[in-house]
Structure formats: structure tokens, C-alpha cells
Chains A and B, each alone.
Chain A
Amino acid sequence: MTDPLITRLKHLIVDTLHLDGVTPDDIDENAPLIGSGLALDSIDALELVVKIEKEFGIKIGSSEESRQALASVASLADFIRVRAKK
């Protein structure tokens, strides 16, 4: 069964970054988000971080934490779950 948070994040990534020609289903939840097939860069990462903080009401504390959270869609979902519990 598909994880609803993973699905939500894939939609959020496509919508936030205006990824032309990419659908949520195209995103491999375990593939690296930055510097992989999606061709996202650090500016995209910045946009994503701002959006995720706002959308989920969590705080990402440092660039290293941001890098860890954005390693993949799956790791981002894990990060949000842990932070949302705090």
C-alpha cells in the first residue's frame, strides 16, 4: 500500500518546483533528490525546505540537517514523521 505521506511529498515537490514533464509517479522515493535524475540543485533545495517547514510546521535547523532530510523522498518522510512527533 502506498504511503500517503510519500505520495503527498511527491506532489509537493512537483508543484513547488514546477517540474515540467515530471509526474509524482516518476519520482523514485529512494533515489537521491538532489543531483540525480530530477536535476534539482541547491536553489531547488532551498525552495523545498521553505515549503516543507511551512506545510508541516517543522523546523530544519542547519544546512547539514537539510541535506540529510532531502537525501530522498523516503528520508524526507522519515524526517517529517520524527519532527512532527516532537
Chain B
Amino acid sequence: MAGPIASETVLLKACDCLTPFGGSVETLTALLSGERALQTQPVLGREGGDLVPLALLPGRALDETAPPSWLAQVRALLAPVNEAGWGTARRPVFVTSSNFGAGSLYAYRRSGDAAHMGYGALVNCVGWLRQQLGWQENVTIFSHACVSAHLGLLQASRVLQAGLADEALVFSFDFLSPFVSGGFNALKILNADFPAPYQARATGSIGLGDGAGYAVLSRTSGDFAIVAQSMYNEMHHFTANQPNGAGFEACLAPLASQAAGRRLWLKGHGTGTLDAGRMESGAFAKVFAGAPLVGWKGSLGHTLGSCGLVELALALAAIRHGRTPGTIGSAAPTFTAEVAIDAFANDRYDGVVCASNAFGGAHAALLLSHA
């Protein structure tokens, strides 16, 4: 059964992201130049291990510190929108992440330093962040693996559409730790190779990246709109998708009717794994035949639960700039002809579908367009 769709348009008043390149404008510039943020480094930080592709914020080590080393950069990211009043009844905050302070829990177990515990659990971490950023109590936390940010956007949209709020701040953050990179390395999908999203090659690989992003959603103000959203869960398997790719299609299909008449480009999830990449690109080609498909995790790595917001901010920046970065790190042959390796002008398009997928068979997608 297809997931819920936000039936009314929600306006995007502000949106930005944080990657190793900087904000959305700096990141877009780097992507358009074909730069790769991923660099091979030890998967377990100071404890060594295999060399794997990771993209960390400048000056940030993989190992945890107390307080977390990313706070200053998060504060700077949110500064343009972090005026008083967030977290009140009419201006709720939705915080999403797939990790929160999981790395701090790991650090505590390794070091015994109790200072890590203040950030080591979901509620503690967000409570601390709320105090640091001056938000009031109306803060809701969501975590749903790598569609976490999409879930936050959808729930915030519902609150706005129900008239329960005037504006909503959706904020997502995922900063890497040895706990996270070590887990993906154990699964063998984070290995020595750089990711090549949607490329038909012998072995798959992903990269992981630090990332955070925010969106201010509004009922009345904004030049861009999230026209429709879809979420779907296959209920098939924890780490595998239905082999026929039906889950990807089921999530995208409801957006097709909302997008009717629009010329679209597509920003896929595209981590670099083979099975999911083949199924995802196949579903896109079926539902949105002929629309160019790009993925940016070949440069930025997978920013996990925050990828939905990070890549939404980049898609928005790409529309404003008039050029869409290509699928960095990939080369022909690709799974479908629609995969765009190179950057292209997007001024003849009037919408973009942004999709993310997650462990547990979860899929999410949204349609972004001018208001």
C-alpha cells in the first residue's frame, strides 16, 4: 500500500546544508567542478583499520570529543534562521538523525569518560542541542534510518497543513563516528573503493559523509514549494529490498500524478551499492521515463539520515543556479540510459524529484518546484 502524500503544497521559506565543502552554495560549486569530498582514511579513526572513503568536515576527526566537535559548525549553519521563537507552539522544531549521539555511547564504552554520556542518547543529545540553540520545548525527534529527514519534512508539513503551526523548522544532522563507519565496513559495503552510483560494475561500494541540513517550512511564505511527498515501506527485509524493485516504484508512483505536465529531473539516493542502485534507477526510468537522474553521494558520501535534507538544499541551490551537478564518481556503463554523468543546465525543467531509501525497506520521495 502506498504511503501518505502531503496533499497541499508546503512552501520552502529557507533551506541550507552543511557538508565538508561548506554550505549549499559552496557545495554546489564544488559538485559542478566534479570535486570529491571523500578521502580514504582509517575506518576506526585513531584505532586504525581498513582505509575507506569518508568525507569529514574540515578539521574534524572521526573520533568523538566532548562536547561534540560539530557544534560550532551547526550553530553557524542555523544562524541565519535561528531567531527567537523556535520551539514554541506555533513554531515547532523537528529534529531528525539516524545516529544522534550513538558515537558518543561508543566513545563512553571505549574510554569510560562520563562526559560523552551527555550526548550519547537521542533524548540527551537533542535536549542539549535545544539548550545550545535556544529553542523552546516544542521539539519533536524523529529517527528512521536514512529517510529520517524526509520523515521530519513530512510530519512538519502535516502540522502546517492542519493549521497547527505557522512555520516549522526541520533540522537534521549526522556526523560520522567509528561506530557508524565500522558497522558499514563490517557489512562490506564500505570498503576500499570509492562509490560509483548507478554504474554497472563488478563490486559495489559506498562512502560516508558528515552532513547536516535545515528547512524552514511555511504556509504563506517562500519562492519554492514541496508539492508532494511520499513514504513507503516494503515490509520485506531489514537489509534487502524486494528483488523486483517494487518498493522503489511504489514510493515514486504517487508523485507521478502530482508531477503530470512538469518536465522533471531526478535526484536519486544512489549510494553506490549495486542491487539497490539497479532497482532504484530502474524504477525511476519506469515511473519518470526520460528524465535525467543524478546522485551526489559519489562526492559527498552518504550523509545517512540527513541526506534527504542535505540533498534537498543542494537541489534547491542547483535550481537557483541553473545547473545540476552530474553523478560524480560514476562512468559508463550505467544501469539505465537516464543516468546523467555530467552536469547539465536545468532551466528547461520545472521540478525535481528527490528520493532517499533506507534499511528496513523504507523509501521516501518529494517533488520540489517553484511556488
The 8 A CB mask of A51-64 against B (1 = contact, 0 = none) is 00000000011111
Q: Is the CB of B203 within 8 A of A50?
A: no
Binds B, one of A5-13, A14-22, A40-48, A75-83: A40-48
Residues of B within 8 A of A63 (CB): 187-189, 203-204, 273
Determine whether A65 belongs to the interface, using a CB cutoff of 8 Å to chain B: yes
Determine whether A49 belongs to the interface, using a CB cutoff of 8 Å to chain B: yes
Chain B residue with minimal CB distance to A61? Answer: B191
Of the candidates B187, B203, B240, the one whose C-beta lies within 8 Å of that of A64 is B203
Q: Is the CB of A65 within 8 A of B187?
A: no
Q: Is the CB of A49 within 8 A of B186?
A: yes
Q: Is the CB of A50 within 8 A of B186?
A: yes
**B188, B203, B204: most-surrounded residue (chain A CB, <10 A):** B188
Residues of A within 8 A of B203 (CB): 61-65
Q: Is the CB of B202 within 8 A of A41?
A: no
Q: Is the CB of B192 within 8 A of A64?
A: no
Of the candidates B188, B237, B239, the one whose C-beta lies within 8 Å of that of A62 is B188
Q: Is the CB of A60 within 8 A of B188?
A: yes
Query: What's the least CB distance linking A69 to chain B, in Å?
Result: 10
Query: What's the least CB distance linking A70 to chain B, in Å?
Result: 11
Q: Report the separation of the CA atoms of residues A63 and B273 in the bound assembly, to the nearest whole angstrom.
A: 9
Q: Is the CB of B187 within 8 A of A46?
A: yes
Q: Is the CB of B188 within 8 A of A65?
A: yes
Chain B residue with minimal CB distance to A59? Answer: B50
Determine whether A66 belongs to the interface, using a CB cutoff of 8 Å to chain B: yes
Query: What's the least CB distance linking A55 to chain B, in Å?
Result: 15
Residues of B within 8 A of A46 (CB): 186-187
Determine whether B26 belongs to the interface, using a CB cutoff of 8 Å to chain A: no
Q: Is the CB of B238 within 8 A of A62?
A: no
Q: Report the separation of the CA atoms of residues A75 and B238 in the bound assembly, to the nearest whole angstrom.
A: 26
Residues of A within 8 A of B25 (CB): none
Q: Is the CB of B186 within 8 A of A61?
A: no
Supplied contacts A43-B238, A62-B188, A65-B188, 5 more A-B pairs, CB within 8 Å: A42-B237, A62-B193, A62-B204, A63-B189, A66-B188
Binding site for A on B (CB under 8 A): 186-189, 191-193, 202-205, 237-240, 273-274
Binding site for B on A (CB under 8 A): 41-43, 46, 49-50, 60-66
8 nearest CB pairs, A to B: A62-B203, A63-B188, A42-B239, A64-B203, A66-B188, A63-B189, A62-B191, A62-B188
